[in-house]
Structure 1
Amino acid sequence: MPKLSLVVPVYKVQGYLPECLDSVLGQDYTDFEIIAVDDCSPDGSGAILDEYARRDARIHVIHLTENVGLGRARNAGLEKARGEYVLFLDSDDTLSDGALTAISERLAATGDPEILVFDYARTYWDGQVRPNQRADLLRSDGPDVFRLAERPQLLDLLQIVWNKAYRRDFITRTGLTFPPGYYEDAPWTFCSLISAERIAVLDRVCVLYRQRREGGNILKTVSRKHFDVFDQYRRVFDFLDAHEELDRWRGPLFRKMVDHYLTVLERPGRLPREARAEFFHRASADYRARLPKDFHRPAGGRGHKYAMLERDAYAAMMSASTAVKLRRTVRKRTRDALNRSKRSAMGVHYQSQLRLPLDENLVLFSAYWSRSVSCNPAAIDAELARLAPHLRRVWAIRPDAVDQVPKGVEYVRVGSRAYWTALARAKYLVNNVNFADAVVKREGQIHLQTHHGTPLKTMGLDQQKYPASTDMNFEKLLERCDRWDYSISSNRFSTAIWERVYPCSYVSLETGYPRNDVLVNAGAEEVRRARAALGLADGAKAFLYMPTHREYQPGFTPSLDLARLAEELGPDVTLLLRGHYFYGSSPHIAELRRSGRIVDVSGHPRVEELYLAADALITDYSSAMFDYAVLDRPIIVYAPDWDIYSAVRGTYFDLLQEPPGAVATSQAELIRLLGSGDYDSRDAAGRRDAFRRRFCEFDDGHAAERVVRRVFLGDQTPLPFVPFDERPHAPTPAQALEPVERA
Structure 2
Amino acid sequence: MPRFSVIVPAYKLQAHLHGCLESVLSQTYERDESPAFDLEVIAVDAGSPDSCGEIIDEVAARDPRVVAVHLPADPADPGQGPGPARNAGLARATGEYVLFLDGDDTLAPHALRDIADRLKASGDPDVLVFGHAHTHWSGAREDVLPAHLTESGPASFPLDERPALLRQPAPCWNKAYKREFTEREGLTFAPGRQTDTFWSYAALLAADSLSTLERVCVHHRKRRGPAAAPGRYFDLFPQYDRAFDFIDSRPALSSWRPVLARRMADHLVAASATVLTAPGLSARTRTEFFRLARAHYGRHRVPGAAGLRYAGVRFGTYRIYRVLRGIRALRARTRALAATVVRPLRSAALGLHYRIQRRLPVSDDLAVFSAYGNRGYACSPAAIEAKVRELVPGMRTAWITTPEQDATVPSTTPRLRPDSFGYFAALARAKYLVNNVEFDHRLVKRPGQILLQTHHGTPLKNVGLDLTDRPAASRDTDAARLLADADKWDYALSANRHATLVGERAFPAAYTTLEYGSPRNDVLRRATPAGVAGLRELLGVPGQSTVVLYAPTHRDYSRSQHLPLDLERLGRALGPEFFLLTRAHFTYRAPLNRTPLSRVLDVTGYPSVEELFLVSDALITDYSSLMFDYATLDRPIVIVDDDREAYEAARGTYFDLRSCPPGAVARNEDELIDIFTTGHWRGSRSAQLRSAFRKRFCPYDDGHAAERVVRRVFLGDSGSAPAPTGRNVPAQRVRGAEFAPAGASGTGR
TM-score by length of 2: 0.51
Aligned to 2:702: 700
| 1:457 paired residue number | 461
In 2, the alpha carbon distance for the partners of 1:375 and 1:736 equals: 21
CA distance in 1, matches of 2:552, 2:514: 29
Q: Which residue is equivalent to 2:605?
A: 603
Residues 350, 421 of structure 2: 8 Å contact kept: no
Could you say which residue in structure 2 is the equivalent of 1:114? none
- Distance verdict in 2 for CA 1:735–1:456, change over 3 Å: closer
Over residues 652-706 of structure 1, what are the superposed CA-to-partner deviations in whole Å (9 max), with x where a residue is unaligned? 0111221100000110000011112111111111111111011001212211111
Match status 1:349 vs 2:353: yes
Question: Which is worse superposed, 680-689 or 401-410?
Answer: 401-410
Matches of 2:604 and 2:514 in 1, distance apart? 30
Work out whether 1:626 is the aligned partner of 2:628: yes
**Structure 2 Cα separation of the partners of residues 645 and 502 of structure 1:** 22
- Distance in structure 2 (CA, Å) of the matches to 1:709 and 1:735: 31
Residue aligning to 2:495: 490
Q: Secondary structure at the match of 2:375?
A: coil
Q: What is the distance in 2 between the residues matched to 1:537 and 1:705?
A: 35
- The 1:607–1:732 alpha-carbon spacing in structure 2 relative to 1, beyond 3 Å, is farther
Distance 1:364 1:702 in 2: 21
Question: 5+ residue gaps in structure 2?
Answer: 1-346, 743-749
Alignment partner of 2:416 out of 409, 412, 418: 412
Partner of residue 717 from structure 1, selected from 694, 719, 724: 719
Task: State yes or no: 1:575 paired with 2:580.
Answer: yes
Aligned residue runs from structure 1 range 413-428, under 5 A: 413-428=417-432
Residue number among 436, 457, 467 corresponding to 1:432 in the alignment: 436
Is 1:353–1:424's contact at 8 Å kept on the other side of the alignment? Answer: yes
Check if 1:677 corresponds to 2:682: no
2:707 partner letter: E
Q: Which amino acid aligns with 1:408?
A: T
Q: Within 5 A, what are the aligned runs for 1:301-340?
A: none
Q: Secondary structure at the match of 1:646?
A: helix
Once the two structures are superposed, residues 23-70 of structure 1 have per-residue CA deviations (whole angstroms, 9 ceiling, x without a partner) of: xxxxxxxxxxxxxxxxxxxxxxxxxxxxxxxxxxxxxxxxxxxxxxxx
Q: 1:346 to 1:478 in 2, by over 3 A?
A: farther
Q: Which position in structure 1 is the counterpart of 2:19?
A: none
**How is 1:249-328 mapped onto 2 (pairs within 5 angstroms)?**
none
Secondary structure of 2:581's aligned partner: strand
Look up the match of 2:82.
Answer: none
What CA distance in whole angstroms lies between the structure 2 residues aligned with 1:359 and 1:406?
22
Tell me whether 1:689 sits opposite 2:691 in the alignment: yes
Query: Is 1:375–2:379 an aligned residue pair?
Result: yes
Q: CA deviation at 1:564?
A: 1.0
Q: Is the 8 A contact 1:700 1:724 kept in 2?
A: no
Letter matched to residue 656 of structure 1? R
Matched residue SS, 2:736: helix
Alpha carbons 2:454, 2:492 under 8 Å: kept: yes
Deviation at 1:729, TM superposition (A): 3.8
Q: What letter corresponds to residue 433 of structure 2 in structure 1?
A: L
Displacement of 1:346: 5.9
Partners of 2:443 and 2:705 in 1: CA distance: 28
Unmatched runs of 5 consecutive residues or more in structure 1: 1-342
1:472-508 Cα deviation digits (max 9, x unpaired): 1111111111110000011000000100110011000
Cα distance in 2 for residues equivalent to 1:400 and 1:738: 34
Report the equivalent of 2:287: none
Please list the CA deviations of residues 126-173 of structure 1 after superposition, one character each: whole Å capped at 9, or x if unmatched.
Answer: xxxxxxxxxxxxxxxxxxxxxxxxxxxxxxxxxxxxxxxxxxxxxxxx
TM superposition shift of 1:461: 0.5
Q: State the partner residue of 1:130.
A: none
Contact 2:555 2:562 in 1 (8 A): no
Trace 1:40-51 onto structure 2 (pairs within 5 A): none
Where does residue 506 of structure 1 map in the other structure?
511
One-letter code of the match for 1:387? L
Which structure has the higher relative contact order (CA within 8 Å, separation 6+)?
1
Distance 1:459 1:476, change over 3 A: same
Aligned amino acid, residue 549 of structure 1: H
Alignment partners' CA distance in 2, 1:436 and 1:739: 41
Do residues 392 (structure 1) and 388 (structure 2) align?
A: no
More off after superposition, 716-725 vs 646-655: 716-725
**Which SS does the other structure have where 2:444 is aligned?**
coil
- The alpha-carbon deviation at position 738 of structure 1 amounts to 14
* 1:360 corresponds to 2:364: yes
Determine the structure 1 residue equivalent to 2:307: none
Map Cα deviations across residues 243-267 of structure 1 (whole Å, 9 max, x no partner).
xxxxxxxxxxxxxxxxxxxxxxxxx
Q: Structure 1 residues 557 and 351 mapped into 2: Cα distance closer, same or farther (>3 Å)?
A: same
2:515–2:721 Cα contact (<8 Å) kept: no
Residue type matched to 2:467 in 1? Answer: Q
Which residue does 1:529 correspond to in 2? 534
The one-letter code matched in structure 2 to 1:630 is T
Of 444, 453, 471, the residue aligned with 1:467 is 471
What SS is found at the alignment partner of 1:566?
A: helix
Q: 1:181 aligns to what?
A: none
Q: Which residue of 2 aligns with 1:542?
A: 547
Paired amino acid for 1:584: R
Q: Distance in 1 between matches of 2:724 and 2:507?
A: 29
**What is the alpha-carbon distance in structure 2 between the residues aligned to residue 394 and residue 435 of structure 1?**
14
Q: Which amino acid aligns with 1:644?
A: A
Amino acid in the other structure paired with 1:467: P
Q: Residue 302 of structure 2 corresponds to which residue in structure 1? A: none
1:24-173 matches, within 5 Å, as none
Residue type at the aligned position of 1:512: G
Q: Distance in 2 between matches of 1:567 and 1:358?
A: 59
Instruction: Please give the alpha-carbon distance, in whole angstroms, between the structure 2 residues aligned to 1:730 and 1:350.
Output: 52
- Which one of the candidate residues 509, 523, 534 is aligned to 1:518? 523
Q: C-alpha displacement at 1:465, in angstroms?
A: 2.3
Determine if contact 1:538/1:737 at 8 Å carries over to the other structure. no
Among candidates 614, 617, 632, match of residue 616 of structure 2? 614
**Partners in 1 of 2:570 and 2:667 — Cα distance?**
15
Question: 2:670 — aligned with what?
Answer: 668
Q: Which amino acid aligns with 1:369?
A: G
Counterpart of 1:534, as a letter, is L
Match of 2:564, SS? coil
CA-CA distance at 1:570 after TM superposition: 1.5
Aligned partner of residue 379 in structure 1, secondary structure = helix
Residues 519 and 730, structure 1, Cα contact 8 Å, conserved in 2: no
SS at match of 1:575: strand
Task: Kindly state the Cα deviation for residue 384 of structure 1 after the two structures are TM-superposed.
Answer: 1.0
Task: Give the equivalent residue in structure 2 for 1:446.
Answer: 450
After superposition, residues 226-245 of structure 1 pair within 5 angstroms as none
Alpha-carbon distance in 2 for matches of 1:666, 1:608: 27
User: What amino acid maps onto 1:437 in structure 2?
Assistant: H
Which position in structure 2 is the counterpart of 1:556? Answer: 561
Secondary structure in 2 matching 1:394:
strand
Q: How far did residue 633 of structure 1 move?
A: 0.3
2:549–2:583 contact (8 Å) kept in structure 1: yes
Q: What corresponds to 2:83 in structure 1?
A: none
Task: Name the CA distance, whole Å, in 1 between partners of 2:741 and 2:501.
Answer: 45
Distance 1:468 1:735 in 2: 39
Equivalent position amino acid for 1:611 in 2: F
CA deviations on 1:106-126 (whole Å, 9 max, x unpaired) are xxxxxxxxxxxxxxxxxxxxx
> Is contact 1:511-1:707 (8 Å) kept?
yes
- Residue 535 of structure 1, CA deviation: 1.2
Change (3 A) 1:729 1:383: farther
Please state whether the residue corresponding to 2:369 is helix, strand or coil: strand
Shift of 1:527: 2.1
SS in 1 for 2:665: strand
Counterpart for residue 44 of structure 2 = none
- Please say which of residues 713-722 and 643-652 is displaced more in the overlay: 713-722
Aligned partners of 1:527 and 1:733 also within 8 Å: no
Give me the TM-score of the superposition, normalised by structure 1: 0.51
Equivalent residues of 2:732, 2:741 under 8 A apart = no
RMSD: 2.4
